[in-house]
Copies of this chain bind each other. A is one copy, B any other.
Amino acid sequence: MKKWENLNKEQLLELKELYDKEFEDFKKQGLKLDMSRGKPSPDILDLSAGLLDPLESWKTADGTDGRNYGVPNGVAECRQIFADLLGIPVGQIILGNNSSLELMYNAYMRMYVFGAMGNKPWKDLDTVKFLCPSPGYDRHFAVSQAFGSEMIIVPMTEDGPDMDLVENLVKDDPLIKGIWCVPLYSNPQGVVYSDDTVKRLASLETAAEDFRIFWDNAYGTHHVFDKYTVANILDLAREAGKEDRVYYFFSTSKITFPGGGVSIMASSPASIAEQLKHLSFQTIGPDKLNQLRTAQFLKNPDSIRDHMSKISAILRPKFKVVLDTLENELGDTGLVSYIKPKGGYFVAIDTLEGCAKAVVAMAKDGGVVLTGAGATYPYGIDPKDTNIRIASTYPSLDELTQAMKLLCICIKRVSIDKLLAIHY
């Protein structure tokens, strides 16, 4: 198939008629599918059925009664599992309840209200700027927006955020206070930050003393094809004498249950002590029984890796459907471009400029709700209106096959209008 930008008007009009018909035929099936969020499918959740088993003991390893008050930083044996899995000293880990977003929001809120390590609270500055590698995760950007930060787009490359730009931006502007990162299998592109990227982030020279890297390792064990790793930023930042700046997050939301997992925050000993001080005013402590339940079920890093390989086996064919359909239907058309994801939860594609919103709207009309166009950019505004996030984890293979067929029809149909408008 040749590049569609080289088609003449008649050819485009012929295709327009074809895809109008294909769309109408598709619509008649009455498909109703919500692919807007990155949710695990029921068969993925079934793999964690053991988490619903009776709790063998409410006693922690050191004899503390997990039913009662106390243990603000979380049950030690549960922290130890994640310490071993992630290569972080156990004393630098705090466990939260089921939402790691809540840990991020609270950490951001503390910077805003109280300031960190004696620095001015962000609320007392005229403005705070935050770097947002994009496309990225909408809920990260929403936190910055909630606290009125000015978000600055940093383009993503196949190695992570454009580090030349990052270094240039932060070195002179003390109001740039941080950056959002999903280092392994980034949301939504599935990019793995290169060692060089992580090293440059860890040792960044910033004008702001209280620059913070919000390091959301949400997909830290979510291999789909090969098993990629990402450098240990806490180690690298410590070596660079900048360990306080790393706020590291992780959760079991996509290992066990989003609605019943545990979340993790790690940082330097000093930063963790600061978080715990604030935490002591905010809560009487986390749900320790769920931490015991999680430890009982997950056991150790090896059994987590075994468990994750079962999840990979479910995700792999779904990724294959998405990637194969894109290749087969749109391969040489020049209508989309994308980085092939190395793992994680999503495939992100770029349409021709100014087409993403129209594609998402048309897909919705056809019965498939995709993530809102623009959602992967700060303020929900994709400057070129090109990015579409495909969340393929929830639907069944059949549904996904159908949805991808529809998506490709919509991309073609919308692109035709675009090409006609440009060229004719």
Interface residues of A (CB under 8 A from B): 37, 39-40, 42, 45, 48, 52-55, 58, 65-71, 97-99, 101-102, 105-106, 109, 112-113, 123, 139, 142-143, 146-147, 253, 257-260, 278, 281-290
Instruction: Report the minimum CB–CB distance from A73 to chain B (whole Å).
Output: 13
Q: Which residues of B contact A40 (CB under 8 A)?
A: 68
Instruction: Report the minimum CB–CB distance from A113 to chain B (whole Å).
Output: 7
Q: Which residues of B contact A69 (CB under 8 A)?
A: 37, 39, 258-259
- The CA-CA distance from A147 to B123 in the complex, in Å, is 13
Most buried by B among A68, A106, A289: A68
Q: Which residues of B contact A285 (CB under 8 A)?
A: 98-99, 258-259
- The CA-CA distance from A42 to B67 in the complex, in Å, is 9
Most buried by B among A113, A142, A259: A259
Please give me the residue from chain B that is nearest to A38 by CB atom: B69
Top 6 nearest A-B pairs (CB, nearest first) are A260-B289, A259-B288, A67-B257, A99-B283, A102-B283, A146-B281
- The CA-CA distance from A66 to B65 in the complex, in Å, is 27
Q: Which residues of B contact A54 (CB under 8 A)?
A: 52-54
Are B101 and A282 in contact (CB-based, < 8 A)?
A: yes
Are A68 and B101 in contact (CB-based, < 8 A)?
A: no
Are B97 and A287 in contact (CB-based, < 8 A)?
A: yes
Q: Which residues of B contact A70 (CB under 8 A)?
A: 259
Please give me the residue from chain B that is nearest to A96 by CB atom: B97
Instruction: Report the minimum CB–CB distance from A110 to chain B (whole Å).
Output: 10
A-B contact pairs, 6 of them (CB 8 A): A45-B67, A48-B67, A52-B54, A139-B284, A253-B284, A259-B286
Most buried by B among A37, A105, A139, A258: A258
Given contacts A37-B69, A39-B68, A98-B287, 7 further A-B pairs with CB under 8 A are A66-B259, A70-B259, A99-B283, A101-B284, A257-B289, A259-B288, A287-B290
Are A109 and B101 in contact (CB-based, < 8 A)?
A: no
Are B147 and A113 in contact (CB-based, < 8 A)?
A: yes
Please give me the residue from chain B that is nearest to A278 by CB atom: B146
Are B253 and A283 in contact (CB-based, < 8 A)?
A: no
Please give me the residue from chain B that is nearest to A55 by CB atom: B52
Q: Which residues of B contact A282 (CB under 8 A)?
A: 101-102, 105-106
- The CA-CA distance from A14 to B387 in the complex, in Å, is 88
Instruction: Report the minimum CB–CB distance from A194 to chain B (whole Å).
Output: 29
- The CA-CA distance from A179 to B213 in the complex, in Å, is 38
Please give me the residue from chain B that is nearest to A261 by CB atom: B287
Are B101 and A257 in contact (CB-based, < 8 A)?
A: no
- The CA-CA distance from A324 to B99 in the complex, in Å, is 47
Q: Which residues of B contact A67 (CB under 8 A)?
A: 45, 48, 257-260
Instruction: Report the minimum CB–CB distance from A351 to chain B (whole Å).
Output: 27
Please give me the residue from chain B that is nearest to A99 by CB atom: B283
Instruction: Report the minimum CB–CB distance from A159 to chain B (whole Å).
Output: 29
Please give me the residue from chain B that is nearest to A102 by CB atom: B283
Instruction: Report the minimum CB–CB distance from A100 to chain B (whole Å).
Output: 8
Instruction: Report the minimum CB–CB distance from A222 to chain B (whole Å).
Output: 16
- The CA-CA distance from A283 to B146 in the complex, in Å, is 13
Q: Which residues of B contact A109 (CB under 8 A)?
A: 109, 113
- The CA-CA distance from A142 to B278 in the complex, in Å, is 11
Instruction: Report the minimum CB–CB distance from A187 to chain B (whole Å).
Output: 13
- The CA-CA distance from A257 to B281 in the complex, in Å, is 20
Are B98 and A281 in contact (CB-based, < 8 A)?
A: no
